[in-house]
A = this chain, B = another copy of it.
Amino acid sequence: MTEQLDELADLIRDERLRDLRVALDDLHTGDIVDFLERLGVKDRAVAFRLLPKDTAVEVFDQLDQALQHEIVEGLKDSDVAHFFESLDPDDRVRLMDEMPASVARKMLRHLDARERSLTNIVLGYASGTIGRAMSPEFVAIPEHWTVGQALEKVRLAGADAETVYTLPVVDGHRLLKGVVSLRELMINDEDTVVSDIVSEADSVDADHDAEDAARTCADRKHLAMPVTDKEHRLVGIFTVDDAMDILERAESEDAARHGGAEPLHRPYLSTPVLTIMRSRIVWLLVLALGATLTVQVLDTFEATLEAVVVLALFVPLLIGTGGNTGNQAATTVTRALALGDVASRDVFRVLWREVRVGVTLGSVLGVLGFLVVSWRWDWEVGAVIGLTLVAICTLAASVGGMMPLLGKKIGADPAVFANPFITTFVDATGLIIYFVIAMAVLGL
């Protein structure tokens, strides 16, 4: 399949567009998406226009957000309206959130009144809340209805709703009383009253953080969750496919920041080299600035270095090991935070665990380091290396475990405080520890 896609790219280059159109007709929607996401901006616009209208809408729906953005900007006004109307309200809002205001207005102008008001309900919530990601197109069932009535409503209203598989149950004042699954309705008798088979709903407040709600939806294996306002009135529904989008985006951000770069928010091969460069340069400069601390520390101890040049040989190994230990702790705790296994109030439980882990790891490495260095150089240098390893590992594991929690506490992305910053911090403090121990043991 993958090689076949490369051949299609050749068709564009050779301008054999008729052949391309025929070839695209034979592909699954998902494969067309994969194909488009590997092309450059211009080639993608060309290929997209060759798709039959219905396929185009489906493909558009699955495309990466950044690419949807580019495609809409390249379309004629009438086509924009067509695509925009074909999207679900929640997808529409997400797309519009990232558009220049002029394009957003152009899109809203072409919607009919009902569609526009649905979009506006969703737009009333702050960015980053689940209200912004939910769909207002739910099918609510009054609790006193029978199963037969409920099924009839699904039949009539089902085509336009975001989902018909999880149905919120409400009372006369639109207060959420629970949920009933379509499966429950199907396997129960027509005359059963809905309130007899309703299940407790795991609902979420519309102002709640979207990533947190998405994680709950995934962890608790819900296909959809009802969204309510402060008074517990039903205002929307949030589906698992949107939850997965939110989590994938959050995980891409975490992964990028762990590696010391800003997330690209678009497929790698379709991202211009200059954009990749920009996503990295600021981090790199900040980290290099932090690393000048190590130059200062070494400058301070230059006399010691000149007296015992052999100390310089172990600098990369010691700070490298410190960095690795810190990264291990930071990665474990960041992931536990993302999964909700740890909260910022657990700061002392985490610290106490990581101190013990750090001391143990440091002792194992310290003894090995002492033996090897004593044998190859002399026992005094061996003692310096051994003691430094114990101290650095303990420091690195504790700081590595704490940083993500402290970052979360002050409202920053925990991943930002992870690997690269810890490495820089441990580099500088590790060197100070190293030279202090060296001066004490060697009597300098």
Q: Give the B-binding residues of A (Cβ under 8 A).
A: 2-3, 28-30, 33-34, 37-38, 62, 151, 154-155, 158-159, 164-165, 182-183, 186-187, 200, 202, 216, 218-221, 223, 240-241, 244, 248, 251-252, 254-256, 258-261, 264, 267-269, 273, 276-277, 280-281, 283-285, 287-288, 291-292, 294-295, 298-299, 302, 305-306, 309-310, 312-317, 319-321, 323-325, 327-328, 330-336, 339-343, 345-346, 349-350, 353, 356-357, 360-361, 364-365, 368, 419-420, 423-424, 427, 431
Contact = CB atoms under 8 A, between A and B. Distances in A.
B356 A30 contact: no
B361 A280 contact: yes
A267 B158 contact: no
Given A200-B28, A316-B427, A259 B295 contact: no
A217 to B, nearest CB: 9
Contacts of A346: 269
A267 to B, nearest CB: 4
B164 A183 contact: yes
What are the 9 A-B residue pairs with the smallest beta carbon separation, nearest first? A259-B331, A268-B336, A294-B316, A267-B341, A221-B241, A291-B317, A298-B313, A261-B328, A312-B312
A427 B320 contact: yes
A269 B401 CA distance: 12
Contact of A299 (B240, B248, B276, B313): B313
A361 B324 CA distance: 24
* Copies of the protein in its oligomer: 2
B258 A331 contact: yes
Given A2-B343, A321-B291, A357 B216 contact: no
B295 A314 contact: yes
A242 B421 CA distance: 35
Contacts of A431: 316
A341 B284 contact: no
Nearest to A30: B220
B294 A320 contact: yes
A333 to B, nearest CB: 7
A8 B298 CA distance: 52
Contact of A321 (B182, B261, B288, B320): B288
A312 B321 contact: no
Given A267-B341, A319-B320, A323-B423, 18 more contacts: A252-B335, A258-B259, A259-B328, A259-B332, A268-B333, A269-B341, A276-B332, A284-B324, A284-B328, A285-B368, A288-B324, A294-B316, A299-B313, A316-B316, A316-B427, A320-B424, A324-B420, A327-B419
A428 to B, nearest CB: 8
14 contacts: A3-B345, A30-B219, A33-B219, A62-B219, A164-B186, A268-B332, A268-B342, A276-B332, A281-B364, A302-B310, A305-B309, A309-B312, A312-B312, A319-B320
Contacts of A349: 269
A154 to B, nearest CB: 5
Contacts of A295: 313-314, 316-317
A33 to B, nearest CB: 8
A7 to B, nearest CB: 13
A155 B187 contact: yes
B260 A327 contact: yes
Most B CB within 10 A of own CB, among A3, A200, A252: A252
Nearest to A353: B273
A81 B443 CA distance: 69
A182 B181 CA distance: 12
A424 to B, nearest CB: 7
Contacts of A182: 164-165, 182, 186
B287 A320 contact: yes
Nearest to A244: B218
Contact of A332 (B264, B291, B299, B331): B264
B30 A284 contact: no
A216 B309 contact: no
Most B CB within 10 A of own CB, among A255, A302, A327: A255
A164 B298 CA distance: 67
Contacts of A154: 186
